[in-house]
Amino acid sequence: MDGKTEANNHLEQFSKAMNMFRDRAIQILVYMLFQLTRTIVVTFQKFTWAVTGVERIRRDAARGLQFKQSAHVQEIFWKRKFFDHSVADPSNFITTHKGFRPPSCIFKSNVSLYCMTRREAVFVEVKESDNVYKSKHSNYLYQNQYHHAVNVITMPLASFHKMASDVGNPRIPVTWLSCTARSGATLVSQMMHRIPGMLSLSEPDAITTLGFLYKKKLIQPSEYKQLLASCVRLLCKPDDRYSAVFVKARPCTTSLVEDIAQVFPRFRYLFMYRNSVKSLMSNLSLLQQDPAPKALRFIMDSPVLSTFLPFVRSYFYYYHVFLNEKKVSSIVPTKLGSVGIITAAWAASVSQCADLRYKGFNIGSILYEDFMINPRRSLSVLLSLLDIRREHLGPAAEALKADVNRGTSHDTGVDARRALTPENRQEADNVLKAYGLAKLGERYEVSGLLKLE
């Protein structure tokens, strides 16, 4: 009987593995078909739009000659992402021409800023019954926008700046939270999300994409600063439903805070981080929960595979470290495994916050371990700091009962001493040393650490 049971278990595991392989193969094939289809459609549109006059209107709008028709509305008939957490991009959609609208259409409550390109601002429009700011689909704005989008609205930068100028700086309190990955910042964002009248923007990718454009030198510094100001103004556009805004940025964008604070000095700025080894273990655990990231980690940690596929390490480093990195000669991205890259992401973000404090920027830092000693008391201190009435403590604290990580474990419960090899620890310590930070697992206090007692 035991032999039959063991044989059945092996067959069941083999069947699950085959099903997973089949599903992943289908996903890859569908994505490749999507990209091929998009290439064909875009190529065909260049011809049809030239013939029908659509391209002429777009070109005139970019020159400022068609301001009243400068919002180009395109209907989505297919959308596809390979990774759910990928940074927002217009290539997520295959669209068809629908019409032109006045640029003021972006002020509608069901239209929101999605991302930026070198020449256009990209908005998405959802059904009037949907709300990307309070969706049950995801905790993150860019995922809700992608999931609910029915139309894409593109706008030339001249019109984009004009709309932002008309809106002006936010007239309501704005709090900007930067963070390291897996630091509890999503939990804090969900707490703020539950406060009546609070607009919670969790990881708006208009800021992320703009940061990449500037860091890759695709736009000039003066243009970048002007676009950054316009992005923030239109992300926080007037809405009668909200009396305050809470922005939780992607972990890779901490370096942008200096530029934002120079334009918007009245915003409140916070930074949330976690003990380095716990952050590392939580990130590694997350990578193991999905086949695609798990495969990427396997390639990154294989000396042979990473030699033949060096772009995997470069890709992972680019999206997690590139915006925050310091040019340190001892750190070579293509030589780092998954542990080294994740540690570099943590170190680069923390180092950016430390530098901002050194330069005199008023940024309050929150250590996750301190916050979770007594989360309700910590939340009370945070609300008091942000001048939020104490009566909102109850609704905000309800987030502590919710699974903000949607099935992922925030505390891995894994012993790092067993899970990390001596080589892994040495790689992580080398990265931290290069950034002038404490060894892996040692407590590190950023200047301006909030006292949550």
**What distance in Å separates the CA atoms of residue 36 and residue 5, rounded to the nearest whole number?**
46
Q: Is 252 found in the same domain as 156?
A: no
Q: Is 271 found in the same domain as 161?
A: no
- Residue 202 resides in a domain: no
Q: What is the mean pLDDT of residues 355-370?
A: 96
Q: Is the pLDDT of residue 292 over 70?
A: yes
pLDDT digits (tens, 9 = 90+) for 72-93: 999 999 999 988 899 999 999 9
- Residue 27 pLDDT grade (very low, low, confident, very high; cuts 50, 70, 90): confident
Amino acid at 442: E
Mean pLDDT of the chain: 91
CA distances from 171 to 174, 237, 239, 249, 365 (A): 9, 9, 11, 20, 25
Q: Which domain holds residue 161?
A: 2-166
- Residue 208 resides in a domain: no
Query: What's the domain count of the chain?
Result: 2
Q: Pick the closest to residue 34 from 75, 72, 77 (CA basis).
A: 77
In this predicted structure, what is the pLDDT of residue 13?
Answer: 64
Q: Is the pLDDT of residue 409 over 50?
A: no
- Residue 440 resides in a domain: no
Q: Copy the structure tokens of residue 245.
A: 């805004």
**Paired residues of 195 in beta bridges:** none
In this predicted structure, what is the pLDDT of residue 416?
Answer: 54
- Residue 330 resides in a domain: yes
Q: Is 259 found in the same domain as 145?
A: no
Q: Is 407 found in the same domain as 259?
A: yes
The reported pTM is 0.91
Only one residue has tokens 């919710």, namely 402
- Residue 187 resides in a domain: no
**What distance in Å separates the CA atoms of residue 153 and residue 156, rounded to the nearest whole number?**
10
Q: Is 379 found in the same domain as 276?
A: yes
Q: Is 261 found in the same domain as 146?
A: no
Q: Copy the structure tokens of residue 136.
A: 């049950």
- Residue 227 resides in a domain: no
Q: Is the pLDDT of residue 403 over 90?
A: no
Q: What angle separates helix 2-52 from helix 54-62, to the nearest 10 degrees?
A: 80
Q: Copy the structure tokens of residue 13.
A: 């595991």
Pairing of strands 363-367, 268-273: parallel
Pairing of strands 120-126, 149-156: antiparallel
- Residue 406 pLDDT grade (very low, low, confident, very high; cuts 50, 70, 90): very low
Q: Is 268 found in the same domain as 137?
A: no
Q: What is the mean pLDDT of residues 341-365?
A: 97
* Number of residues written out for the chain: 453
pLDDT digits (tens, 9 = 90+) for 226-236: 999 999 999 99
Q: Pick the closest to residue 258 from 353, 372, 379, 377 (CA basis).
A: 353
Q: Is the pLDDT of residue 421 over 60?
A: yes
Q: Is 373 found in the same domain as 277?
A: yes
In this predicted structure, what is the pLDDT of residue 17?
Answer: 60
Q: Where is average pLDDT lowest: 145-159, 258-272, 324-338, 374-388? A: 324-338
Answer with the residue of higher pLDDT: 20 or 108: 108
- Residue 213 resides in a domain: no
Q: Is the pLDDT of residue 189 over 80?
A: yes
- Residue 417 pLDDT grade (very low, low, confident, very high; cuts 50, 70, 90): low
Q: Is 149 found in the same domain as 275?
A: no
What is the 3-class SS of the chain, one letter each residue?
Answer: CHHHHHHHHHHHHHHHHHHHHHHHHHHHHHHHHHHHHHHHHHHHHHHHHHHHCHHHHHHHHHCCCCHHHCEEEEEEEEECCCCCCCCCCHHHEEEEEEEEECHHHHHCCCEEEEEECCCEEEEEEECCCCCCCCCCCCCCHHHHHHHHEEEEEEEEHHHHHHHHHHHCCCCCCEEEEEECCCCCHHHHHHHHHCCCCEEEEECCHHHHHHHHHHHCCCCCHHHHHHHHHHHHHHHCCCCCCCCEEEEECCHHHHHHHHHHHHHCCCCEEEEEECCHHHHHHHHHHHHCCCHHHHHHHHHHCCHHHHHHCHHHHHHHHHHHCCCCCCCCCCCCHHHCCHHHHHHHHHHHHHHHHHHHHHCCCCEEEEEHHHHCCCHHHHHHHHHHHCCCCHHHHHHHHHHHHCCCCCCCCCCCCCCHHHHCCHHHHHHHHHHHHHCCCCCCCCCCCCCCECCCC
Q: Is 388 found in the same domain as 252?
A: yes
- Residue 218 resides in a domain: no
Q: Is 252 found in the same domain as 355?
A: yes
Q: Is 159 found in the same domain as 43?
A: yes
